[in-house]
Amino acid sequence: MKLNPFVKAGIGLTFALIWSCPTLAAMTESKNFGLEVKVTGQSEDDRDLGTASGGDVSGVGLDLRPWVYGESGAWSAYAMGQAVTSTDIIETDTLQQSDSDGTQTTDNGDRKTKKNYLAMREFWVGYSGLTPYPGEMLKLGRQRLRNDDGQWRDTNIEALNWTFDTTLLRANAGVAERFSEYRTDLKELAPKDKDRLHAYADAAYQWTPGNWVGIRGHHTHDDGKLDYPEPGVAGDSLDKKENGDISWIGLTADSDAYNWRNTNTVNYWGSITGMSGDRDTVNALNADGSRPTQAKRSDDVNGWATDIGVRLRLDPQWQVGAAYARASADYEQTGLESNRSNYTGTRSRVHRFGEAFRGEMNNMQTATLFGSWMLNDEYDASLIYHKFWRVDGNKPVGSNGINAVENNTDDVTGAILSSTSLPLEDGNKDMGQEMDLVVTKYFKQGLLPAALSQSIDEPSALVRFRGGVFKPGDAYGKEVDSYMHRAFIDVIWRF
């Protein structure tokens, strides 16, 4: 795998700092290196809602993630690699980008997910000596960026990030840009990530015990070179068709609801976000194949979104809750989100908009009901119901989980000549509904350095089932299948 200078520098600094630690024995005693073993079984049927042949996934994947961590005074360094082998294109990584799942079609194969690959997940150097507070750190390198609701940031990306975390004040600030996927199979970036710089900051204050208010902002500057279509030359799905500048500003309030350890009788969360910016978009060729009069068009983009929820603790083990989210027709997320969080009140993070549908905050409203259960540190479970609608019945929505197509067939032979994304029924807002189930059995507690709390999600070995069944609504028309499902069994053990 060819590494760019950024990667080489990050890896070099990482291991230089690691070997500056006093002794290898001391590293071993403080658990400064290890191996995460993850086995994932996946069953998926009708991602395309029955509109195309294939589209099913059934197989098992093995994901090995060796990691090493070192500290020397206020300095620290961390690196995690990855080796994946599987019988099918298995999603062993919940942070996997939406267009990295094997559905991306390219002419040169430079962005085609494979069954076997090697990767570098993280490599960073940290410094915690800027302030005397123990929850403060500056990190440089490829790292995990994450906020509690997962709707702004939850990804591995190259960044300079500063975190400040104390009893009364939490803050983050940084800049990030994706330069590579650092995988042997994905040699090219997705078009949306090319030359796209992210700058962000957030702060939250605990104004009364257990209650937080906050503000957060994010700006993307995309000046990547646009790829204009040429008559007689086939386009590539990796061609960059859009760039521009977009800003988000949001307000939040919550009762520490995403902290599964809290014992509040009532938990709540709420956020409202405004988005504004401008975008340049490449115009397609004319119907006769000639160049358009204007090569591109420029538009202003504006939108807003909100997410609110409440969770009631019935007793130490059982909780129930309801949530509602809405995003205007032209709203879009930052591009760094996973939409996974602990909103059901358990240790297991669940997709906010369905494990199967995997909706996005884009022209969509969602009503959610859920119940959850935890038994000590050994078990947890969440059962969730979602209902999805379009806000504007004449515009598309964002969904990472559905890839329905419309086929153009030969009138004589019936052979499929081409396929395009299935257009939704004009005026029909009903996107469908879904039931999710997530159940986890934990085996033992693991003690890891505090600085790795974001890099390594789970503090214990576990077996987890997570799955969803989606029933498409009338907006998809009458020619689609009645149901689609996506289910995983994850077995994780750390050495």
Q: Tell me the per-residue pLDDT of 307-327, one tens digit each, with 9 for 90 and over.
A: 999 999 999 999 999 999 999
Average pLDDT for 416-429: 75
Judge whether 227 and 252 are in contact, CB under 8 Å.
no
Does residue 260 fall inside a structural domain? yes
d(CA 481, CA 470): 10
d(CA 262, CA 210): 9
Which comes out higher in pLDDT, residue 20 or 392? 392
Does residue 10 fall inside a structural domain? no
**Dihedral through CA 403, CA 407, CA 413, CA 417, nearest 10?**
-90
Q: Where are the beta strands (DSSP E) in 352-394?
A: 364-375, 379-390
User: What residue type is 8 in one-letter code?
Assistant: K
pLDDT computed for residue 459 by the predictor: 57
Can you give the pTM of this predicted structure? Answer: 0.87
Q: What is the DSSP letter of 344?
A: T
Residue with tokens 């960044």: 159
Provide the CA 164 distance to its chain's centre, in angstroms.
23
Residue with tokens 């410094």: 127
Judge whether 493 and 37 are in contact, CB under 8 Å.
yes
Does residue 121 fall inside a structural domain? yes
Does residue 416 fall inside a structural domain? no
* Neighbouring C-beta atoms of residue 231, cutoff 10 Å: 10
Q: Which domain holds residue 307?
A: 29-91+110-316+436-492
Q: Picking from 132-136, 204-208, 387-391, which range would have the lowest pLDDT averaged per residue?
A: 132-136
Alpha helices in 19-123 (DSSP H): 24-29
What confidence tens digit (pLDDT) does each residue in 154-198 have? 999 999 999 999 999 999 999 999 999 999 999 999 999 999 999
* Neighbouring C-beta atoms of residue 67, cutoff 10 Å: 21
Count of residues making up the chain? 495
Residue 16 reports pLDDT greater than 50: no
Judge whether 349 and 382 are in contact, CB under 8 Å.
no
User: What residue type is 155 in one-letter code?
Assistant: T
pLDDT computed for residue 108 by the predictor: 59
Does residue 157 fall inside a structural domain? yes
Does residue 176 fall inside a structural domain? yes
Does residue 454 fall inside a structural domain? yes
Does residue 378 fall inside a structural domain? no
Nearest C-alpha neighbor of 170 from the set 123, 122, 199, 137? 137
Q: What is the DSSP letter of 336?
A: B
Dihedral over Cα of 255, 259, 263, 268: its sign: positive
Give the contacts of 251 (CB within 8 A, at least 6 positions apart). 213, 214, 215, 271, 272, 273
Give the contacts of 90 (CB within 8 A, at least 6 positions apart). 40, 41, 42, 57, 59, 60, 61, 84, 115
CATH number, residue 447 = 2.40.160.100
Q: Picking from 94-98, 185-189, 250-254, which range would have the lowest pLDDT averaged per residue?
A: 94-98
d(CA 455, CA 154): 11
Q: What is the DSSP letter of 231?
A: T
Instruction: Classify the phi-psi angles of 46: left when phi > 0, otherwise alpha if psi is within -120 to 50, otherwise beta.
Output: left
d(CA 18, CA 20): 5
Q: What is the mean pLDDT of the chain?
A: 86
Residue 99 reports pLDDT greater than 60: no
Rg (CA), the chain: 23
DSSP codes, 426-459? TT--EEEEEEEEEEEEEEEE----GGGTTTS--S
pLDDT computed for residue 256 by the predictor: 95
Provide the CA 458 distance to its chain's centre, in angstroms.
17
List the structure tokens of 325: 């989210």
Residue 433 reports pLDDT greater than 90: yes
Nearest C-alpha neighbor of 304 from the set 353, 352, 364? 364
Domain total in the chain: 1
